[in-house]
Chains A and B, each alone.
Chain A
Amino acid sequence: MLELGMKKNGAMLLNTFPTTVTPCIRIYYIIEGKFEWRINHQPYFFYPGDVALILPGVPFGSDNGTLEIGSFTWIHLDMQKLDNGYIIPGKWSGLSDSEAATIGKMLSMTGSPVLSRFSEAGKILKCIHTELTGHEIGYQTRVNHQVDELLIKMIRHMTQQVHPGRDFPQTFMRLEALLREDLSHQWTVEEMAALVGLGTTLFTEKVKSYSGFSPINYLINIRISEAIKLLKRPDISVTDIALDTGFYSSQHFATTFKKLTGYRPSEFRKNHLSNE
């Protein structure tokens, strides 16, 4: 369920750090030294204060199992895998369902497994270590709290790393791309805001002033635009289009579509497939 460890390595060792795959999330925090590890076959360098984040099922280790000089701590966390492919923290977590889902989704979508200059992770891991060795009253609850804290801090650090709060157009473009990649998902404002590292109030305000639309209305824009493209192809049913583009049902799709365009989807399709 949960493993916590610390390693201080005084000399370069071979065949001690082989590549492995596990069903849990693995978080490594570098205390001293410099490590070259492969995550998902890609080489990455880690320096003190950096965190390596290895998702379930991702191969992790180093070439020839080499372990360089230095020290690091790690924690392995049990995650649940959902039907839609996303992960959520296991039963130990005290996160609310919706926040756990958002965090799990963001973990699955993370681009880089390197969280640089993230010493807070080291502090939390140290606290967990102290609690686990001390066994004082309430230590189990405190450890679970600390793990949730670690996940939250990691997500926030990750978004700030990608979106340093300077370039809204670029941030918005990245968000746009993520929405398009998974248009059938029922996106919430909370999820979208979390992806760019803003609170929902500020996020909604920024999106509105930048795009002219509320986040949800902007999303409807993308959904209808994609739906129009699909309607102009004869090989996909209106119901499938509705679900693929994130509407609850073909009825919901038809209503929204008609309200905006004046056409029912089937009517629109007929007009565009024949020579007008």
Chain B
Amino acid sequence: MKCIVTIELGTNGVRIFAFDLDGRVIASMKGYYPSFHTEPDRTEQDPEQIFITTLYVMKNLLNEHIHPKKYKVACVCFSAAMHSVLAVDKNGNPLGNAITWSDNRAKKEAQELRSAALGRSLYAATGTPIHPMSPMLKIAWMRNYDKERFRQTSKFLSIKSYIIQQLTGEYLMDYSIASATGLLNIHSFNWEADALQYAGITAAQLPELAPIFGSAGKLKKAYQQSLGLPADTKILIGSSDGCLATLGDGVKGEGKATITIEDSGAVRVMGPAVLKDEQMRFFNYVLTEECYVSGGPTNNGGNIFEWFTRQFGDFTNPFDVEQSMQQLIEEASQVPVGSDGLLFLPYLLGERAPLWNANARGAYFGLNIKHERKHFVRAAIEGILYEIYSIGKTLSEQRNIKSLSVNGSFGTIPFCTQLIADMFNKPVHLRRKFHSVSFGAWLLSATEMGIYKTLDQAARTVELPDVYKPNKQHHAVYADYFSVFEKLSTKLSDEFEAISNLQHKHTVTKAFS
């Protein structure tokens, strides 16, 4: 029996799934790796630990579930978080840690470029919003402030490129990950000269580009032996987590959008054309030459509700945040739709789409004397989802969205999924069983292996069995309150800036532990 193994290099760890050729999960395992915040605005990960964790989890999964059942691994396919940068020297050895997507060190560069003409043309050419997450800006930062490392760098890789290079010896980057670096022209599929020049590098300092179906090379002998995989095991380079989550939900085709809400969130659509936006609010990433994944990301998703839970939840069992969240959600469900007019702006981490304002901050608005503790709980959840709705609303100015799918740990909480259906006034589909990203990687592998003729055909077979239907009365209430939410989020921009500046001024910088 053949099986397909998908490796998802995520923000907090690696998740590995083994599927059979019908798309059923045989087994899955995960392994955590940490992020380091050595200074404010910095988020880094240790490439060696990511590699060892991946190898370790892979080995455990194969030894415990695949080899004993006599499955033959036909294909291994990768997905990874976008926007990471890892500098390596001429021997391919890392120069320091990898810089991950949530790292904000290049915020000054981003701010300057965003308001410059070059920023506009780079956004149009590369599809990557001008934001500190962009590897182009991170590399530019390194050139300015980490000169020694910049000078020694032979290549700038992504985390996935490094893991693949360790396993097979090839320096490769797929078009999806490349299209999220801010360095790739998403129309010509070549590195963009102006972007390279801005970053101060040459194309030779980047990995070779490969389509998502491309081979990532052959496993090195030592890993063939330690993993127990034959030399002819196909290793697919795969795509990015955002693109594959969209594919995994079957969003290919007109009228569909997918909402991901994990710690952070995004609303995405897929199609043959890019979204153009004067205000540069949307990303356009490449899945294939005929297909772009476009949308808007938010900083404030499930992490905000987790924050709320840690501050205000009851913890009967130590560290049992799930149970405390569950209790709060029960509390929230006793509050009328719209929280009796209490609104919550969820911008605790600043905001990307649709505001693109790092200084945005959170707020409760509309408090009256009748509001109780439970209103705060419901308003917090509603606020997070209004923000998702607000991204969806700006997207629907360009695309006709008829139905939605939801994935991610926060979005798939039934209470939240229903709220999404009500706010959008559209049916919401989802699959509770497993992760959309890995399923997207399975669809990709299955297409490469000839099980499906095209990705389109593969995507069309996706069935999302659970459906949440919108409640029209609820929608009317949310629509009323949303109009105030939307105004607040833009109206407060001066005050956001003022309070954010004061917070910087009066906060004693604490050593990050």
Q: Which residues in A have some Cβ–Cβ distance to B below 8 Å?
A: 164-168, 171-174, 176-177, 197-198, 202, 206, 210-213, 217-218, 221-222, 224-226, 228-229, 232, 258-263, 272-276
Inter-chain CA distance A168–B320, complex, in Å, is 8
Given A167-B310, A213-B32; 14 other pairs, CB 8 A cutoff: A177-B513, A212-B13, A212-B57, A221-B52, A225-B49, A225-B52, A228-B48, A228-B51, A260-B56, A260-B226, A261-B52, A262-B224, A276-B92, A276-B169
Docked-complex contact A262 and B225, CB < 8 angstroms: yes
Docked-complex contact A212 and B319, CB < 8 angstroms: no
Contacts known (A272-B92, A276-B91, A276-B169); A260 close to B319, Cβ less than 8 A: no
Docked-complex contact B91 and A272, CB < 8 angstroms: yes
Docked-complex contact A221 and B315, CB < 8 angstroms: no
Q: Collect the chain A residues with CB atoms within 8 Å of residue B31's CB.
A: 211-213, 221
Closest to B13 in A: A212
Neighbour of A165 across the interface among B34, B51, B59, B315, CB < 8 A: B315
Docked-complex contact B319 and A168, CB < 8 angstroms: yes
Docked-complex contact B13 and A261, CB < 8 angstroms: no
Q: Collect the chain B residues with CB atoms within 8 Å of residue A260's CB.
A: 52, 55-56, 59, 226
Q: Does chain A have a CB within 8 A of B222? A: yes
Inter-chain CA distance A251–B327, complex, in Å, is 51
Q: Does chain A have a CB within 8 A of B46? A: yes
Q: Which residues in B have some Cβ–Cβ distance to A below 8 Å?
A: 13, 29-32, 34, 46, 48-49, 51-53, 55-57, 59, 90-93, 169, 220-227, 310, 313, 315, 318-319, 321, 513
A-B contact pairs, 17 of them (CB 8 A): A165-B318, A166-B310, A167-B321, A172-B32, A173-B34, A177-B513, A198-B318, A221-B31, A224-B52, A225-B52, A232-B91, A258-B226, A260-B52, A261-B223, A262-B224, A275-B91, A276-B169
Q: Collect the chain B residues with CB atoms within 8 Å of residue A226's CB.
A: 48
Closest to A199 in B: B318
Docked-complex contact A229 and B48, CB < 8 angstroms: yes
Leading 8 A-B pairs by shortest Cβ distance: A262-B222, A165-B318, A262-B226, A211-B32, A225-B49, A168-B319, A212-B31, A225-B48
Q: Collect the chain B residues with CB atoms within 8 Å of residue A165's CB.
A: 315, 318-319
Contacts known (A211-B32, A276-B91); A259 close to B319, Cβ less than 8 A: no
Docked-complex contact B225 and A272, CB < 8 angstroms: no
Docked-complex contact A259 and B226, CB < 8 angstroms: yes
Docked-complex contact B226 and A273, CB < 8 angstroms: no
Contacts known (A210-B32, A212-B32, A262-B226); A222 close to B49, Cβ less than 8 A: yes
Q: Collect the chain B residues with CB atoms within 8 Å of residue A224's CB.
A: 52
Contacts known (A225-B46, A262-B226); A232 close to B315, Cβ less than 8 A: no
Give the interface centre of B13, B48, B169, B313 by most chain A CB atoms within 10 Å: B48
> Could you tell me the dominant secondary structure of chain A's interface residues?
helix
Q: Collect the chain A residues with CB atoms within 8 Å of residue B13's CB.
A: 211-212
Neighbour of A212 across the interface among B29, B91, B169, B313, CB < 8 A: B29
Inter-chain CA distance A174–B319, complex, in Å, is 14
Neighbour of A261 across the interface among B34, B46, B92, B222, CB < 8 A: B222
Q: Collect the chain A residues with CB atoms within 8 Å of residue B222's CB.
A: 261-263
Inter-chain CA distance A226–B47, complex, in Å, is 11
Neighbour of A273 across the interface among B34, B46, B91, CB < 8 A: B91
Docked-complex contact A168 and B321, CB < 8 angstroms: yes
A242 to chain B, nearest CB (A): 16
Inter-chain CA distance A229–B95, complex, in Å, is 10
Docked-complex contact A275 and B225, CB < 8 angstroms: no
B250 to chain A, nearest CB (A): 28
Q: Collect the chain A residues with CB atoms within 8 Å of residue B93's CB.
A: 232, 272
Docked-complex contact A274 and B91, CB < 8 angstroms: yes
Q: Collect the chain A residues with CB atoms within 8 Å of residue B221's CB.
A: 262
Docked-complex contact A176 and B226, CB < 8 angstroms: no
Q: Collect the chain A residues with CB atoms within 8 Å of residue B32's CB.
A: 172, 210-213, 218
Inter-chain CA distance A206–B227, complex, in Å, is 27
A59 to chain B, nearest CB (A): 22
Q: Collect the chain B residues with CB atoms within 8 Å of residue A164's CB.
A: 315
Docked-complex contact A166 and B49, CB < 8 angstroms: no
Closest to A263 in B: B222
Q: Collect the chain B residues with CB atoms within 8 Å of residue A172's CB.
A: 32, 34
B220 to chain A, nearest CB (A): 8
B361 to chain A, nearest CB (A): 21
Inter-chain CA distance A224–B33, complex, in Å, is 13
Q: Collect the chain A residues with CB atoms within 8 Å of residue B48's CB.
A: 225-226, 228-229
Q: Collect the chain B residues with CB atoms within 8 Å of residue A276's CB.
A: 91-92, 169
Neighbour of A262 across the interface among B29, B49, B223, B319, CB < 8 A: B223
Inter-chain CA distance A272–B222, complex, in Å, is 14
Q: Collect the chain A residues with CB atoms within 8 Å of residue B53's CB.
A: 221, 225
Q: Collect the chain B residues with CB atoms within 8 Å of residue A211's CB.
A: 13, 31-32
Inter-chain CA distance A263–B31, complex, in Å, is 22
Q: Collect the chain B residues with CB atoms within 8 Å of residue A225's CB.
A: 46, 48-49, 51-53
B423 to chain A, nearest CB (A): 29
Q: Collect the chain B residues with CB atoms within 8 Å of residue A202's CB.
A: 318
A171 to chain B, nearest CB (A): 7
Closest to A171 in B: B319
Q: Collect the chain B residues with CB atoms within 8 Å of residue A275's CB.
A: 90-91
Q: Collect the chain B residues with CB atoms within 8 Å of residue A213's CB.
A: 31-32, 56
Closest to B224 in A: A262
Q: Collect the chain A residues with CB atoms within 8 Å of residue B29's CB.
A: 212
Docked-complex contact A166 and B315, CB < 8 angstroms: yes
B64 to chain A, nearest CB (A): 12
Inter-chain CA distance A228–B51, complex, in Å, is 10
Q: Collect the chain A residues with CB atoms within 8 Å of residue B315's CB.
A: 164-166
